[in-house]
Each structure stands twice: as structure tokens, then as C-alpha cells.
Amino acid sequence: MSTPTIRLAVVDDHILFRKGLRALISGFPDMEVLFEAGDGQELLEHLDQGIRPDVVLMDLQMPTLDGLQTVRLMRAQYPQVRVVIISMHDEPELIDSLHAEGAHGYLLKNANPEEVRGAILAAAEQAAPTRPKLAVL
């Protein structure tokens, strides 16, 4: 019996980082990137069009609609979509606030490939909780 494919979206305002993350994910078995977006607004437009990933890997700091604002909106509008925030910041207060807002995971941008894969798998395995368990890697 095969494992279902985890469908992802990659959201970051830096094109090179986005493309690199997409290339990394393409090497993981049973994972595919449905689309990329440059900010939270673009992500929400894709979701509004019915393109629904299982997991979103999203930068925290972006123009137009940042990661925290987007997590808040997604929790209300698309609670079934899990979100893993990717950032260079590792302040415990920030991670706690993201957890409280509904993020399903948190990765530092210097994470290794296995940590990225593990965060995706952990988020995908979670039901859509009201207060998710935040996996920090």
C-alpha cells in the first residue's frame, strides 16, 4: 500500500529561496509542490481558487501580508491546511505567538533537509487542531 502524496505550497518573497525549497522537496518521496507564492496575499488567492495544499511552508517576514497575518486568516478560512513557518528568527516569544495563532510547525532557515522533511511530515500528520502542537526544528 503506498503512502498518499503530501501536497505543498511554498510561500516566500525571495524567489531563489522559494525555488531552492521547491527543488529540495521534489527529492522527497511522496511530496509534491502544487504552487509557489511570493506573499500571504498570493497564497490566499490560490486557496480561494480551490487549490488546496495539505501543508504550506511559509516565510514569516514578507511584504503585503506577512506570515503571522496569513496564519491568522488561514486558521479562520482554511483550518484544514497546515502551516509550517520558516524564519531566521528563533526568539521563544515569537514561536509561542505563532503557536497561539495556529502554526503547526516552525523551522529555522538554516535547517537541514531532514529537518525540513520531518517538519512537513509532522504537520501533515496533525488533524486540524484548534491549538496545534508546534514542532520547532
Residue 93 lies in a domain: yes
Residue 135 lies in a domain: no
Q: What is the pTM of this model?
A: 0.88
Residue 68 lies in a domain: yes
CB-neighbour burial class of residue 40 (10 A; exposed 0-12, middle 13-18, buried 19+)? buried
What number of other Cβ atoms are within 10 A of residue 10's Cβ? 25
Residue 137 lies in a domain: no
Q: Each residue's pLDDT tens digit in the chain (137 positions)?
A: 456 899 999 999 999 999 999 999 999 999 999 999 999 999 999 999 999 999 999 999 999 999 999 999 999 999 999 999 999 998 888 888 898 899 999 999 999 999 999 999 999 998 544 343 455 54
Count: domains in the chain? 1
What is the domain extent for residue 90? 6-126
